[in-house]
């Protein structure tokens, strides 16, 4: 069964970033993020969990982010939209036609 999805709903322009380990000169590494692609996407909020950390209230918002199918998107990467960051937790092809990818992501709020 083919999935109906309106590509016109992909109105968010996101940078896809991959982690890059950079030696810190002391035998360890610091993680930096490098932009690997800029994509049009649809962002759908799914749920919100409120958390208290160090007497400050924050939370985690989970999202479904739809993009056109492409190789090279995997868990551990992240999307950036301005100051917002969406950590990719899971990636799948919803109807296995290689037209779209759905990325399950988490956005931390403070």
Which of the two residues, 26 and 3, has the higher pLDDT score? 26
Instruction: Report if residue 3 sits inside a domain.
Output: no
Check pLDDT > 70 for residue 79.
yes
pLDDT at 67: 97
Average pLDDT over residues 97-103: 95
Instruction: Report if residue 52 sits inside a domain.
Output: yes
Question: Domain holding 18: CATH number?
Answer: 2.40.10.270
Q: How do residues 13-39 score in pLDDT, each as one tens digit?
A: 999 999 999 988 888 999 999 999 999
Instruction: Report if residue 46 sits inside a domain.
Output: yes
Between the two ends of the chain, the Cα-to-Cα distance in Å is: 41
Instruction: Report if residue 104 sits inside a domain.
Output: yes
pLDDT at 51: 77
Give me the chain's average pLDDT, please.
91
CA 31 to chain centroid: 17
Number of H helices, E strands in the chain: 0, 6
Exposed, middle or buried: residue 54 (CB in 10 Å: 0-12, 13-18, 19+)? exposed
Q: What is the pTM of this model?
A: 0.84
Check pLDDT > 90 for residue 98.
yes
What is the domain extent for residue 61?
10-22+29-109
pLDDT at 2: 52
Check pLDDT > 90 for residue 108.
no
Domains: count for the chain: 1
Instruction: Report if residue 1 sits inside a domain.
Output: no
């Amino acid at each position: 069964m083919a999935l109906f999805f309106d590509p016109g709903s992909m109105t968010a322009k996101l940078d896809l970033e991959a982690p890059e380990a950079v030696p810190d000169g002391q035998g360890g590494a610091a993680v930096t993020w490098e932009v690997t692609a800029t994509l049009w996407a649809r962002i759908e909020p799914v749920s919100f969990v409120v958390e208290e950390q160090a007497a400050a209230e924050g939370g985690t918002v989970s999202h479904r982010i739809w993009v056109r199918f492409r190789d090279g998107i995997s868990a551990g990467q992240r999307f950036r939209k301005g100051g917002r960051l969406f950590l990719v937790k899971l990636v799948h092809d919803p109807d296995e036609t290689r037209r779209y990818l759905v990325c399950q992501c988490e956005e931390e709020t403070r």
